[in-house]
Each structure stands twice: as C-alpha cells, then as structure tokens.
Amino acid sequence: MDSTKINEQKKHINLWPALVFGGALILFALVAVGVINQYIQTVIMFIGINIIMSSSLNIVNGYMGEFSCGHGGFMLVGAYVSSALSVLLFTDSSWVGHSLLPPSTAIFLFPVVIIIGGIVSAFAGLLVAIPSFKTRDDYLAIITIAANFIFVSLVNNLEFVGGSRGFMGMKNAIYAMEDIIRLPYMLIWTVTFAVLAVFFIRRLMRSTFGKGISAIRYDEISAEIMSVNTNHMKVVAFMFSSGLAGIAGGLFAHVLGFINPSSFNIMKSTESLVMVYLGGMGSLSGSVLSAIIFTFLLEAMRPLQILKWVLIPLMLILLMQFIPEGLLGNRELTDVFPKLKRFFRRRDI
C-alpha cells in the first residue's frame, strides 16, 4: 500500500468503541429509568445470547467451511456446568445443602462461573475436533449430530442434575446479587459477553494466525503445503466455537432460571444454523444482524406455538433454495455499504 493510502486511512475515525459503549450506556440508562420493561429486556438478552451462538458457529461453518450441526450440545454443557457451579457455590439448596461460598461473592464470581462453563464446553468441543482431522463435510456433520445426541442423552440420565426433569435454582445466585446492589445483572452480562465474543472473533479472524482457519476452507491441501498446521487450527476453531456456545448456554440458563436437556436438542442447533446461513457464511456482521432479526422473528412467532418448529426448518429450506449465500454472503457490512468504511477504520497491520 502506498503512503497516501495509509494517510487517508488514518483520517478515518474508529467509531466502534463509541458506538458500542454509547449504545450499552443508553440501554442501561433506559432500563434504570424504567422505560424498557422486563419483556423487552428478556428479548435483548436473547439477542445477546443468539449473537454469541451464531457468530461462534460461524467460525466453524463459515470461516472454516466445515459443517457442524451440534452447536446446541455445547450450549448444554456450558449451561449445566455453570448452573451447577452457581447453585453449588452461591445458594443454599436441597441439592447440596449450604452454599460453599458466601452468596455475596456471586457479584464478582458470576462471570468466572460462566467462563468456566465455556472452558468445559471448549474441551467437549475436542470430541468433534479430533474426528475432524480425518473426515470432512457430510461425515463430520453426522459426527456433530451424534455428539449433540450424546450430550442430551447423557444429561437425561444424570439423576444428580435432575435428569429429564431439568435443573433449576441458579436464579437464586442472581437474587443473591440483587440483594446487595439492585442492577439488571443478566442484561449487563449478556450484553458484555456478546460484545466481547464478537470483538474476539473479529480480532482472531483478522490476524494472520486466524486466517489459517479460512485457508482451510478455501483449500486445505494448500494450507498444509504452506506450513499451516491444519489439525491445530481445527482444534483452535472447534474449541473456541464450542467454548463460546458454552458461555451462551450459561447465560441462557441464568436468564431462564430453569433448563432441561431437551432445550438443547437438535432444534437448538438448527436455530443456530438458520442464523448462520441467514447472515451469510464467514460474515461476522451478517451473524450479528441475523441473530437480531431471528430473535425478533421468534418472538413474533410465539403465538404460533408448536407451528414455530415447522416454520424455522422451513426457513432453512427456503434460505438454501433462494439465497444460499445469506444476507451478506462472506462479505461484511462495510463491503456492502462502502461508505460505512469512513467510520470504521480498517487497519492492515
């Protein structure tokens, strides 16, 4: 790039931090004033969770070009691990008795609990990553579905976390936090985690290291011959992706206050797939956009009840038929509307 181009780019102001922090501040202010009611807050939280789900699945299905359809399984692992930890550490329950830590510590330790759920889930991702060394495409898709079923049936048969009846009590940790300072904790944390997830995915995928993941998508043999350790990159991609799904699961569990294994079955994975393909494979802004649209759609379809589960898979069929590349393809919003670039500095370091 010649020097004039670099100078030109330096003039651009990076609006991202201002936009994100400003938006979050306005949101929390509105909540504090009481303009946003509980229902809208819940919708915003689901948007946050869905952004994490779609953008994390996009790492594997979009950037890496593999086909994982078991994302719900990893959400389950994160949800159960962090819920169990919450109940164990912060609440007095009939399940394990007295809380192991004073409930007030939840204020600081809650994000840690969510992250631990993510880490355990990341290791569950190895279950899919290791077979992916040898198989691709359809075969890997089958393996991921199988993994999803394994997690669901495993928890169905684990009596100490409630089996198929489900697990609850983690909400008490949130109540314990609210007893100290009244804040919309779940809203704060879902928004924070969603922003961080997108931020870290963006940073990874723009680095030369992360571009090794995209190299696998475009030509795996080429990647190997150009010294990219593809097995290592697959482990990185699968673990990062499933770890984020675990974080989304933990947040989901604490928002609802009740989880059961069937909330994370193949339907959940299908939801994530719809979001990724709606937004466009390999487009991070597409994933964010589609998570927002999809959450609103789900809410709009709520009165339809069971019919919803006919319409969502139908949407996937229609998407594949008419806009297989999704809303944005593998472009970003700034590629579709080049004028936006003025506000979001792109640095080619």
Using CA atoms, how far residue 86 sits from 26, 61, 174, 190, 252, in Å, is 30, 32, 9, 16, 13
Residue 238, Cβ neighbours under 10 Å: how many?
Answer: 26
In whole angstroms, the minimum distance from the beta carbon of 8 to another protein comes to 14
What's the min distance (Å) between Cβ of 190 and another protein?
Answer: 20
Of the pair 191, 205, the CB lying nearest another protein is at: 205
Nearest CB to another protein, comparing residues 72 and 212: 212
Please give the angle made by the CA atoms of 112, 287 and 335, to the nearest 5 degrees: 125
As measured in angstroms, the least distance from the Cβ of 199 to another protein is 9
DSSP 235-268: HHHHHHHHHHHHHHHHHHHHHHSEE-GGGGSHHH
What does the binding site for another protein look like in residue numbers (CB under 8 A)? 1, 200, 203-204, 207-212, 214-215, 218-219, 221-231, 236, 240, 330, 348-349
Q: Which is nearer to another protein, 104 or 207 (CB)?
A: 207
Token representation of residue 151:
């997690």
| Min separation Cβ 238 and another protein, Å | 13
Of 21 and 200, nearer to another protein (C-beta) is 200
Grouping H, G, I as helix, E, B as strand and the rest as coil, residue 168 is strand
Instruction: Specify the residue, 179 or 219, whose C-beta has the smaller distance to another protein.
Output: 219
User: In the 8-state DSSP scheme, what is residue 167?
Assistant: E
Q: What count of other Cβ atoms lies within 10 Å of the Cβ of residue 19?
A: 12
DSSP one-letter string for 99-113: -SS-GGGHHHHHHHH
**Min separation Cβ 229 and another protein, Å:** 5
